[in-house]
Amino acid sequence: SQQGEEDPQALSIQEGENATMNCSYKTSINNLQWYRQNSGRGLVHLILIRSNEREKHSGRLRVTLDTSKKSSSLLITASRAADTASYFCATDAAAGTALIFGKGTTLSVSS
Amino acid sequence: ETGVTQTPRHLVMGMTNKKSLKCEQHLGHNAMYWYKQSAKKPLELMFVYSLEERVENNSVPSRFSPECPNSSHLFLHLHTLQPEDSALYLCASSQDAQGSYNSPLHFGNGTRLTVT
C-alpha cells in the first residue's frame, strides 16, 4: 500500500542548528502532512501541504513538496531541545482515503 | 489538551481477558480512527468510522472489535489477545466525514497495551 518513507531514521543535532528530514512516497497524492510525536504521547499535526503547493511555512517550520520526485522535506530552523521528538510524514491516496504514515525520523536536539 | 481523550492510558491484560479501550472526542468531528503503533513499524490503520458507520477495516483480526455508538465515542473491544498485540493504540478524529482528505487528524495520547 502507499506509504511515506522518512529519511534519516535518526538525527542528532545541537540546539540552534537546523534539522532537515525527508519523506518519499510512491503514488500520486492529494496532500502530504507532517506530524510530531513526543515520547509516550499521541501525534500532533504540524503542517499540511497540497499537491499543487511547492512550499509552506509555519513558524520555524518549512515544508517543501516536489511531486515530480514524489518527495517532501521538513526543515526546522534554530532547533530547540523541545523539538526532540519523532516526526512522521503521512500521505493520502488519490481516492481520499485515510492517511498512511511512514516509520518516522527520531530527532534529538541537545543543549 | 488535544480534544481527544483515551482511557485507560495503560493496560495490562492476560491472553484470556476481555477489556475495552475508550476514546472520546470533543471537537465535533465526523470521522474517528483506531491506529496501532508498534516499535520500529509504521502506524497501522485498523478501523475508520465516518458518521458512526465503519468505512474501513484493514484486515484486522477478529479479536479486535470496534464500536462507535455516536460520533463522539469510539471503543475497541479486546479479547483473546496475543503477546504480539502489545502496542500503543491511538485514537484519532478528523472533521472530514470522508476521512482525513484535506483535514488533519487529531490524536489522543494513546493506550499502552501489554499482553502477558
B105/A43 CB distance under 8 A: yes
Look over chain A and give the mean of its residue pLDDT values, rounded to a whole number: 91
Among candidate residues B26, B88, B11, B54, the one with its CA nearest the CA of residue A101? B88
Question: Which region among A1-10, B64-73, B83-92 has the lowest average model confidence (pLDDT)?
Answer: A1-10
Q: Over 80: is that where the pLDDT of B101 sits?
A: no
Is B69 near chain A, with CB under 8 Å?
Answer: no
Q: In the predicted model, what is the mean pLDDT of residues A69-89?
A: 97
**pLDDT of A97:** 64
| Contact between A30 and B102 using a beta-carbon 8 Å cutoff | yes
Q: What residue of B is the nearest CA neighbor of A46? A: B104
CA atoms lying within 13 Å on the CB side of residue B79? 5
Decide if A84 contacts A108 (C-beta within 8 A): yes
Q: What sign does the CA torsion over A36, A79, A73, A9 have?
A: negative
Chain B residue with the nearest C-alpha to that of A34: B104
Report strand pairing: A71-76 vs A61-66: antiparallel
Evaluate if residue A89 carries a pLDDT over 60.
Answer: yes
Q: Which pLDDT tens digit goes with each residue over B18-40?
A: 999 999 999 999 999 999 999 87
pLDDT at A1 over 50: no
Instruction: Give Cα B20 to chain centroid, integer Å.
Output: 10
DSSP for residue A93: -
Task: Using the predicted structure, report yes or no on whether residue A39 has a pLDDT greater than 60.
Answer: yes
What are the pLDDT digits (tens) for A17-38?
999 999 999 888 888 999 999 9
Query: Which residue is associated with the grid cell 502532512?
Result: A33
